């Protein structure tokens, strides 16, 4: 049995994470901490757990083996480093932190403590995206020239997100920092090292942070990714388009179309694959299993740092209204 503490109910996924943990049968939620005392106390009562007003006191508890962090993104580094120093395993909502420098501090603390770390990258567990990675690994698309991903909803348009979601001091940004994480980490996973980035952010509802955004990123091999996200679009169908020199993959909702020069000659043109890779366990499930059975984490410190690198640089490009070059490995 894994004893878990919930660290804040700030993130909109926190309640879902707690429900999922309780459904697994091998997790006991023992304690709750929240930077908003009344919210945390009420949530602890709902979960049948203890409320700890002091984070250090919670992290010293012997009935806390691990923590799920849903605190404001601006608090992630502080909270994760404290958890690692206390010897607690860590699961965190994205993004890992606001800057690569903070990610490096978290990484140092986690590695020094020898605890397990996992970040929530659910899009990398889904059959459609696993299929895309498989096609690239098998060379069926040739060299990638263009990747386009869209992810959006109407949370800001119809006001079903909490208003603190638009507080830059807490969230670190708007649509790109929230929903934009998914296109960002998918692009990093599929295309590798980024080279340069430009951003265009919009403020349709007039809030302090962007409510729709687009980033154009050039990756190694000269592949370009167009990553789009929005909190102001109605019934937004997710879109995923991957274009290569020898093939194309189009995913729209549950529909998948593939064309490749490497398919059997009888199948030239568009085909709909009959079988996709098996869906992988959700990151939270994999984290619990990894702790209890000493297995590697699917999405770790390096993955989280790469996402933050993309996000941090995207916001620099937006603020400074310019194309920003990424520091290349081994460069000065």
Q: In angstroms, how far is the first alpha carbon of the chain from the final one?
A: 47
Instruction: Give the SS3 label for residue 102.
Output: helix
Q: What CATH number does domain 2-115 carry, 3.90.320.10, 3.40.50.720, 2.60.40.10, 3.40.50.620?
A: 3.40.50.720
Q: Can you give the residue ranges of every domain in the chain?
A: 2-115, 123-279+310-325
Q: Do domains 2-115 and 123-279+310-325 have the same CATH topology?
A: no
Q: What is d(CA 293, CA 21) in angstroms, rounded to the nearest whole number?
A: 16
CA 58 to CA 40: how far, in whole Å? Answer: 13
221 with 143: CB under 8 angstroms?
A: yes
Its pTM stands at: 0.96
For residue 304, how many C-alpha atoms fall within 13 Å in the half-sphere facing its CB? 32
pLDDT at 207: 97
Q: Which CATH superfamily is domain 123-279+310-325 in?
A: Dihydrodipicolinate Reductase; domain 2 (3.30.360.10)
Q: Which residues pair with 4 in a beta bridge?
A: 29, 66
Mean pLDDT, consecutive 10-residue stretches, the chain (332 aa), reads 98 98 98 98 98 98 98 98 98 98 98 98 98 96 98 96 97 97 98 98 98 97 97 94 97 92 74 93 98 97 98 98 91 57
Helix (H) or strand (E) holding 92: strand 89-92
Ramachandran class of 223: left when φ > 0, alpha when ψ lies in -120 to 50, beta otherwise: beta
């Amino acid at each position: 049995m894994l004893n878990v503490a919930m660290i804040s109910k700030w993130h909109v996924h926190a309640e879902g994470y707690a429900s999922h943990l309780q459904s697994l049968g091998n997790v006991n939620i023992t304690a709750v901490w929240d930077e908003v005392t009344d919210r945390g106390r009420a949530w602890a009562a709902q979960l049948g757990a203890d409320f700890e007003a002091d984070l250090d006191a919670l992290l010293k508890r012997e009935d806390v083996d691990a923590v799920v962090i849903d605190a404001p993104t601006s608090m992630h580094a502080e909270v994760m480093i404290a958890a690692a120093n206390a010897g607690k395993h860590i699961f965190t909502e994205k993004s890992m932190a606001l800057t690569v420098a903070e990610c490096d501090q978290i990484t140092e603390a986690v590695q020094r403590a020898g605890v397990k770390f996992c970040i929530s990258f659910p899009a990398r567990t889904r059959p459609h995206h696993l299929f895309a990675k498989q096609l690239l690994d098998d060379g069926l698309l040739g060299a990638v020239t263009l990747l386009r991903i869209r992810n959006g909803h109407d949370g800001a348009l119809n006001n079903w997100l909490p208003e603190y979601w638009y507080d830059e001091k807490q969230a670190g940004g708007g649509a790109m920092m929230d929903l934009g994480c998914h296109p960002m980490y998918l692009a990093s996973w599929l295309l590798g090292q980024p080279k340069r980035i430009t951003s265009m952010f919009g403020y349709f509802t007039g809030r302090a942070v962007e409510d729709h955004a687009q980033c154009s990123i050039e990756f190694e091999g000269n592949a370009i990714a167009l990553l789009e996200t929005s909190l102001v679009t109605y019934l937004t169908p997710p879109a995923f388009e991957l274009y290569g020199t020898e093939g194309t993959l189009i995913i729209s909702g549950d529909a998948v179309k593939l064309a490749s020069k490497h398919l059997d000659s009888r199948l030239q043109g568009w085909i709909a694959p009959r079988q996709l890779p098996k869906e992988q366990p959700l990151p939270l499930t994999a984290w619990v299993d990894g702790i209890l059975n000493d297995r590697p984490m699917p999405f770790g410190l390096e993955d989280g740092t790469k996402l933050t690198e993309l996000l941090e640089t995207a916001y620099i490009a937006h603020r400074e209204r310019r194309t920003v070059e990424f520091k290349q490995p081994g460069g000065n």
